[in-house]
Structure 1
């Protein structure tokens, strides 16, 4: 138990160190991310009084603001639908077999979305359909990623005998540990993609943590006596 407590603390400190170091490397221009830097997002050449200080700490601000935002999103989801989030979390923490199954489901969903987008290019009446379906898949990925973070933190705190406290500690630990790999150069976008696919697959396969599974049984014709 003491070993698990030390492991949880060490893992969180290592994750925070990764976030801080990658922000420093970005500030020094050693690494570049696929998305635009903060100075371009806020318009560094606009001449505003507070732009220069914000740009100076931009990489650090982006790094920790991203983690805080994910935690706040998870916080809202846990409070908005606690029972559904618990069932969804239980489903994604059922072992590596469940994770691989949801990863495959997420990949099939992404392929299906791509196929719908391609076909919609030839049929004007469904031109908006890819955007609607894309929004649903994005929401599912977001909800599923929160469940992954909460499940990881909950399992670690259980092993460390710290699970009796607020569930928000589980969310904070899991968010920190899953956010850090997304900050790594080269592999970070790939980690984000994997988390998104697993999250989307889990959320949609379980109907966002619903009690019923996907089935066509309600549509089956029953022979009358």
Structure 2
């Protein structure tokens, strides 16, 4: 049976995803600040697109808790609400822990090496004071078991709520030294390489679960 056109991403779907990612990243990195009003017409003009993909992106961002929409009135960038952050944090921690538990037994030496290299890039970025590079390296490290788990439900939940946590991560980098995270990375990689799925899973859960709303560890 031939593949239908629906199996190939359309230009419209790619545009929609691009607009969503640009707005999401602008909120996460603070370019769009908490409380800032978001006008779909103005955003569309800035991005060079029609209002439709912007409106669709704002709906998705509202579902993640990154924006707050008041129908018929205004849409604003959400504040870092402690309760919302705690809920997102707990869900992200659980999903990442599950991914580790499902994948540790299938990690190859190449996977472990990829995690090790990501940890080294993270440490180098910290030394350079490069927050963006550090967060990218951290993403790369923790993505290894998630990709290997190959669980679409986990992927969907993380895609929805990890950006909320990333806003907190940036606050954490600004608020206090994170050198202890280098040691935590090393311990996590050691547990994964040793094939200790339960301990590695617990370690990953605690890494994410102990983030509080201001980015500090509980």
TM-score (norm 1): 0.30
Compare the two structures and name the one with the higher strand fraction.
2
TM-score (norm 2): 0.31
